[in-house]
């Protein structure tokens, strides 16, 4: 997620330094097809016409700095997820302001957790997330939490990674009553979980695929996408610098159904 500050550098083991993670930081590493031509990373495409009428969204963290959420809503943004936590110790310093001000502006918002399977178990991180921004209430303006998992495989085998993700999911659901949304890329999921299908009936998929194509590539093991992050270089009124742009797969009624946990 690009913003007014410089992107976080990568540690030598492929993981970003603690606290520096954000949605998309691992995308270039995940998506090998983008490594060959850096010019592709500057694409700011629109999604295909079939989803242009669907709700538009963004995802943000402290890299974006101060945000005018009224201007964001006025620009047509209907939903947003914002970074809350990372690992079991880091809390995003912009989260509280973003979460409250987005709500006041009428943006349907939710929190995300940047996964660090290298520092602790999935259950511990889900507990930290649920207690520090990842909670949920049925109020027409709160989305379920997101597990942002990308970049490095953190030295884990596919089986071990599957277990870590399932532990996070089960703990988050026990704490909140909601299925956590999974944000990832096809390359990361296929490589680091072995294309596991075990979450397809549990978690909505948020697919990261920065492309001018009409739809995203989705990981093996998932039948369809629910949210699509289609660029990291978007522009939205109320935000200085680049911001990730997203689209929801259904209409506003389906977005509200996801928010309110209704059929």
The answer to whether 23 and 59 are in contact (CB under 8 A) is yes
Per-state percent for the chain, helix, strand, coil, to nearest 5? 30, 20, 50
Catalytic residue among 59, 78, 92, 244: 59
User: Is residue 78 annotated as a catalytic residue, yes or no?
Assistant: no
- Rounded Cα–Cα distance for residues 53 and 171 (Å): 35
SS3 assignment, position 181: strand
Q: How far apart are CA 87 and CA 262, in angstroms?
A: 30
143-162 CB burial, b ≥16 within 10 A, e <16: bbbbbbbbbbbbebebeebb
Q: Is 202 buried (19+), middle (13-18) or exposed (0-12) by CB count in 10 A?
A: middle
Q: CA torsion sign, 239 to 241 to 243 to 245?
A: positive
CA 63, chain centre distance (Å) = 15
| Residue recorded with tokens 């889900």 | 126
Catalytic residue among 150, 179, 244, 246: 150
Query: Length of the chain in residues, anyone?
Result: 263
Q: Which member of 30, 86, 92, 148 is catalytic? A: 148
The Cα–Cα gap between 77 and 56 comes to 5
Beta strand spans in the chain (E):
56-60, 77-86, 90-91, 108-114, 146-148, 181-184, 205-208, 227-234, 243-248
Just list the catalytic residues.
Answer: 59, 148, 150
């Amino acid at each position: 997620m690009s913003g007014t500050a410089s992107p976080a550098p990568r540690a030598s083991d492929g993981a970003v330094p603690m606290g520096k993670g954000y949605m998309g930081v691992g995308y270039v590493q995940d998506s090998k097809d983008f490594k060959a031509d850096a010019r592709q990373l500057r694409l700011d495409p629109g999604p295909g016409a079939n989803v242009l009428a669907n709700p538009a969204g963004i995802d943000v963290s402290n890299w974006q700095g101060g945000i005018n959420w009224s201007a964001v809503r006025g620009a047509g943004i209907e939903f947003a997820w914002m970074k809350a936590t990372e690992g079991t110790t880091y809390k995003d310093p912009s989260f509280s302001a973003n979460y409250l001000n987005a709500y006041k502006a009428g943006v349907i918002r939710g929190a995300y957790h940047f996964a660090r399977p290298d520092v602790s178990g999935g259950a511990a991180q889900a507990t930290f997330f649920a207690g520090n921004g990842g909670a949920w209430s049925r109020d027409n303006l709160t989305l379920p939490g997101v597990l942002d998992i990308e970049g490095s495989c953190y030295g884990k085998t596919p089986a071990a990674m599957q277990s870590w993700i399932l532990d996070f999911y089960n703990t988050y659901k026990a704490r909140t009553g909601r299925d956590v949304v999974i944000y990832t890329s096809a390359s990361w999921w296929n490589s680091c979980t072995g294309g596991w299908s075990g979450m397809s009936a549990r978690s909505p998929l948020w697919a990261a695929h920065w492309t001018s194509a009409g739809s995203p590539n989705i990981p093996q093991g998932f039948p369809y996408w629910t949210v699509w992050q289609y660029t990291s270089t978007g522009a939205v009124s109320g935000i200085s610098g680049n911001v990730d742009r997203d689209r929801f797969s259904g209409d506003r009624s389906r977005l509200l159904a996801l928010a309110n946990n209704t059929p």
